[in-house]
Structure 1
Amino acid sequence: MSRISVRLAGDGTHAVIEGKDPVVSGLTLDEAENYLTFMRASARVRRTRRLPEALRRRGERPA
């Protein structure tokens, strides 16, 4: 997973950056932090949903 962070944009607003690419910009600091929190939580949910399937596949492999 890429690093996700909030950075100050050149025009005095804030941007959410994933890796080296801006995801969204033109936000207040509070809006950017809320967006960042949402992105991290949604990534965590995606990983959690994949876990049971990965464990099931792992159990089906022949020894």
Structure 2
Amino acid sequence: MPQDLPGADSSRPDVCNVDHFVRDLALLTEQLLLAVYLAEQLRSDLEKLHDTRSEQGDERRNAP
């Protein structure tokens, strides 16, 4: 029955649960931002590597 649930007798959410949820959400957001940053760094590094290899290939083709 709904009356058996914690906080069912009140319209206010359990403050401890809300605080725990907000902390988890902040931690997950921080981890997501770090993952996006690292993915962008990897993309940039791979792009630089590709450009370097393309330039080396051009130099070899143009060598006498």
Q: How many residues align?
A: 42
Deviations 1:4-55 (A, max 9, x none): xxxxx874226xxxxxxxxxxxxx7111111111111100010112222111
Runs of 4+ in 1 over 6 A off after TM superposition: none
Unaligned runs of 5+ in 2: 8-12, 52-64
For the pair shown, which has the larger CA radius of gyration, 1 or 2?
Answer: 2
1:41 and 2:23 matched: no
- Give me the CA root mean square deviation: 2.4
Q: Which has the higher helix share?
A: 2
User: Which protein has greater RCO, CA pairs closer than 8 Å, 6+ apart?
Assistant: 1
**TM-score for both structures, normalised by structure 2:** 0.50
Unaligned runs of 5+ in 1: 1-8, 15-27
Report the identity percentage: 10
